[in-house]
Every structure is written in C-alpha cells, then in structure tokens.
Structure 1
Amino acid sequence: MQTRTKRFTNLKAANEQLQKFAKVVNSDHAIRKLHKNESLRVGIDLGTSSIVLTVLDHDNQPLYGAFEYDHAVRDGIVVNYMESVQILKRLKQKAEKVLGIELTTACGAIPPGTGESSAKIVSNVIEAAEFVCRNVVDEPTAAAQFLHLETGTVVDIGGGTTGISVFKNGKLTEVVDEPTGGFHMTLVLAGNQHIKSDEAELLKRDPKKEQNIFPIIRPVVEKMATITKTATSKTIEQPVVVVGGAINFKDFIPTFSKTLGMPVHKPSFPQFVTPLGIGMYDHE
C-alpha cells in the first residue's frame, strides 16, 4: 500500500509542475526570474505534429517552454531537415529573449527502436540550430524520468508511433515502438469526413467537435491499447501512465483502459511530459 501511495504522490507532483509550465508555454515570461550565471537544461522534442523546446533549471524544475506545429517529422523520423532547423532556431530565439540568457546545450529524443541513424539526424538538427547536443534518449524513458516512475509502464502516444517502456524497481526491462499514433487518428478522420489531412488535423484539435469526432477515431485508440497489451513480451507493470498530445480527449483514457483491461492514468497536459523529461538529460 505504501508503494501505491508513493506512485500517486509522484503523479500529483508532476501535475503541479505541468500546470505551472503550461501557463508560460509560448508566453512572454518564465515561471521565475533567473539567477546570474544560472546553469540551465534544455529538452527538444522533434514530434510529428509539433516541435517543443523546454527549459529547466539544474534541479530539473521547469522554467519556460515554446512550441510550433510542424510537418517536418513523420513516424518519429525527420523528413524535412531544414524546416526542423528553422523552427528550432525560432523557438531558441524566443526562449532566449524571455529568459535573457543564451541557451547553449540541449538534449533530444527519438521513438524507441528507430536506431542510431535517427538519433544522429536529431542530433544534427539540434547542432544546426546552434546548440551542443549532449544526449539523445528514447521518448518513453524521458517521460518516466519526469514522472519519477520506478515501477510501472509509460505509453507515449506520439504523432506517428506508440512507444512503450516498462520499468521495474528503477530498471528499464523492455522498450518497444509501434507505428500507430495521433497522425493515424487524423487519417481515419480525413477518410471518414472526405477532407484533406490538414483539415482533419485542425478538426481533431477542436475541443468543441470532440463529441462527434471521438467515435470515429475510437478504433485507433483501441488499437493503441491492444498494441500496449500485446507488443511487450514481459508483464505490463502498473501503474500504466499514458502521455502525449494525441490523448487529449475526454473518452481516451476510459476507452484505452477498457481495452487494456487495467487502470490507466493521464497526467495534466500530457503533451509536455516527454519534452520536460528530455530536458532532464541535458547534463554532463
């Protein structure tokens, strides 16, 4: 019972950080003023639907964040190098203006199992945007780092993939990635409504249309849960925490949980969990 309490305390603490962080994303101010010569950490998430930059202090407390929607990445792989670099440079400049300090180092991330070549491309994008890239980690592991999850399963629903990391007693026991994500919801919606994918993406993001949209994309959510249940060779450790911008639907968690056959937890602002976790690896 003690372990269960600790797990939920961790999610509560994470939610408090996420709520503070969400208020300053793309704003003109940080969570607090910086001290002189303060050491900062930067996380960069090159996602299928957006590129996110997060800034943390040396105690891993979030300070500021910025993002832009993009078409530069597909299924976790950078497909438009120059667009990625240009967006990242803009985000860097925006953060530096708000913080009043130059950002020099950063950490990136890739979906698990996408290989060294994918990590190298992410590193190259970061370096081309005038950072020193200190590390490239896998996305669900970064999410678990932010959540301080010792034992449990993190399911990171990205734009193009579903990444699953299983942890036991602080050790990563399995990590897998399957090609189904938020973009597949968009494709199903586009086909159903006979519209272009860009229009479907905007429709998917409109909270007012959620009641009509979710029944159309429900099968994709059920597939993601089935992937989580069947893709891992080891037992799924509880708690199961699902993160990623694609899960911001009221009925996502109940649907996912029912198909998975066990309780599932969603942090506040799940789209920022992985980017903040990535930043925690930006150190020597």
Structure 2
Amino acid sequence: MEAYEKIHQLHHLIETGTAADLPGPYKVGVDLGTADVVLVVTDSQGNPVAGSLRWASVVKDGLVVDFRGATTIVEELKAEVEKIMGITLDKGATAIPPGTVGRNAQACGHVIAGAGIEPICQVDEPVAAAKALNIGHGIVVDIGGGTTGIAVLKNGDLVFTADEATGGTHISLVLSGAYKITYEEAEVLKKDVSQHRRIMPVVLPVIEKMATIVKNMLAEYDEYQDYPVYVVGGTAYLTGFGEEFSKAFGRKVHVPPHPLLVTPLGIAMFG
C-alpha cells in the first residue's frame, strides 16, 4: 500500500469507526498534539488497521499541561480501538517535537503508560511523519499547535532536525483578535472549511512566518535545496495553505491528504 493510500485508509477507518481485516502482530502509536490526541494501530507492514481521534487541549507547545486529562483521553481512545478490534493493546510508541529533552520528553511516555500502554519507543514528530510518507530524500515540515519542526532525510537517514515556536495556536490567536471572539470560537472558525477563503488574508502573515522559519532553518544547507518538501499537521488543512506557504518559502511544497493524520500514522509504524 502506497503512503497516500495508507493515509486515506486511516482517515476512512477513523471516520467509520471500523477496523481493517489485517493479521497481527500490531503496532500502536499515540500522538499527543496541542489540538488533538490520536491513537493509531497498524499491522507489521505499517498498513492502518484502526484508529481514533479526540479534539483536546492537554498539550501546549509540546508540553503536557494536563497530565490527568491526557491520560484519561488515551485510556478512552485505547478502549474504543480495543472494542473495534476485539484485542488488548499493551505496548506502543509516542512522539515529541524536535529538541524536547528531560522531563518534558519523558512526560508523553508517562501519559501512555498511565493509560495502560507500555512505551517502547519515542521519536521526533517530523521523523515520524517522514516514516509515514516513506521519504528517502526529502524535508518534512511538521506544523503543530505551538511549534514548526523540520526533519531532513538523506538516503533514509535523519541528517538535520530543528524546531521553533509558531504553529496552529498562533493562527487561532490571530483570528481571536481580528474577529473579537474567544480562542475556542477561533478554533471552530479555523476548522470550518467554508470560512477558509474569508480568513486566509487574516492568517496569511502567520503562514508566511512559518515558511520564513523553515527557510531560515535551511539557509546554510545548500545541499538540501533540491530536496522535495512536505508539510503536515492540522494547519495544512487550510484551503490555499500549500500555495501560500510555497510563495513565502520560495519553493514548491507538497501537502499530503489528511495532513493531521500523517504523524500519528508514522508514530504507529515505529511502535
């Protein structure tokens, strides 16, 4: 199954609450995002088997700010997927933004452990996305809620990674200020596809800043200038995002289907 086909399949499984009829052993991945928590199960070849998603605000800028809430959500997602599949999930992987260290990095593992999933692996989020996209040579830009992270791969190996503040949260803050609405209302507005063209001029400066961040990260590496660039994360759902990011970045970027699900799928592949 090709990378994009896997992403479409995962989206279908989550939307329908069903499981693919694929044999084990299975791999489990949990993505603790700023705006959502996603649990994904794949077979040994990385093909999606089942998944579940919950919108939540238990993580901020890559840090777990509501440990109990995060643990409860993972427990609920675990129970949902176990019911769908008819098995028990006991081990899995999780991920962190690049550069996260110490107790902050350990927190994600503690969350899934508290939910009954033994943490066996922890990877950088852009690296997980690259795994899902099956990238040998390329650059993955993972736009999270609070950060924009990149991973550069050469011959399948990670050769450079970086992370800097500015993400989907900042787009919601700009919308909140521009339309004089609450942050929660801005989040709803941001997810409303019918409103994307109206809000694009308002959030465009944030998108341009994200592109500039990535451009600056790569400024000293001429050898990566010909590498294809993929952008993932929920912010990339915005209609016209890919075109505007490309303009500001100065190079064509690719936005995979259902970009919110790319990193969670990759995390499971490491599980």
So what's the TM-score if we normalise by structure 2? 0.96
Q: Is the 8 A contact 2:149 2:163 kept in 1?
A: yes
Q: Which residue of 1 aligns with 2:150?
A: 164
Q: Which residue of 1 aligns with 2:21?
A: 33
Q: Which residue of 2 aligns with 1:86?
A: 72
Q: Is the 8 A contact 1:50 1:69 kept in 2?
A: yes
Query: In angstroms, what is the RMSD of aligned CA positions?
Result: 1.3
Q: Which amino acid aligns with 2:221?
A: K
CA shift at 1:28, angstroms?
Answer: 3.0
Q: Is the 8 A contact 2:92 2:118 kept in 1?
A: yes
Listed as ranges, the gaps of 5+ residues in structure 2 are none
Moved more, 162-171 or 137-146: 162-171
Residue 272 (structure 1) aligned to one of 247, 261, 266: 261
CA shift at 1:204, angstroms?
Answer: 0.6
1:119 aligns with 2:105: yes
CA-to-partner distance for each residue in 1:159-206, whole Å, 9 max, x for gaps?
111001111222211100011100100000000011110010001100
Q: Is the 8 A contact 2:17 2:52 kept in 1?
A: no
Q: Is the 8 A contact 1:75 1:179 kept in 2?
A: yes
- Provide the rounded CA distance (Å) in 2 between the counterparts of 1:124 and 1:26: 28
Q: Is the 8 A contact 1:110 1:136 kept in 2?
A: yes
Listed as ranges, the gaps of 5+ residues in structure 1 are 1-11
Q: Is the 8 A contact 1:110 1:139 kept in 2?
A: yes
- Provide the rounded CA distance (Å) in 1 between the counterparts of 2:143 and 2:2: 22
Q: Is the 8 A contact 1:14 1:267 kept in 2?
A: no
- Provide the rounded CA distance (Å) in 2 between the counterparts of 1:14 and 1:268: 10
Q: Which residue of 2 aligns with 1:219?
A: 205
- Provide the rounded CA distance (Å) in 1 between the counterparts of 2:214 and 2:240: 18
| Secondary structure of 1:215's aligned partner | helix
Q: Is the 8 A contact 1:146 1:280 kept in 2?
A: yes
CA-to-partner distance for each residue in 1:60-116, whole Å, 9 max, x for gaps?
111111010111000111000000000000000000000000011110000000113
Residue 209 (structure 1) aligned to one of 195, 205, 213: 195
Q: How does 1:183-262 map to 2 (within 5 A)?
A: 183-232=169-218, 233-235=220-222, 236-237=224-225, 238-262=227-251
Q: Which residue of 2 aligns with 1:4?
A: none
Q: How does 1:4-153 map to 2 (within 5 A)?
A: 13-30=2-19, 32-35=20-23, 38-153=24-139
Q: Which residue of 2 aligns with 1:6?
A: none
CA shift at 1:250, angstroms?
Answer: 2.0
CA shift at 1:26, angstroms?
Answer: 4.8
- Provide the rounded CA distance (Å) in 1 between the counterparts of 2:141 and 2:55: 22
| Secondary structure of 2:121's aligned partner | strand
Identity of matched residues, % = 43
- Provide the rounded CA distance (Å) in 2 between the counterparts of 1:21 and 1:220: 29
- Count of residues in correspondence between the two structures: 268
Q: Which amino acid aligns with 1:280?
A: M
Q: Is the 8 A contact 1:26 1:65 kept in 2?
A: no
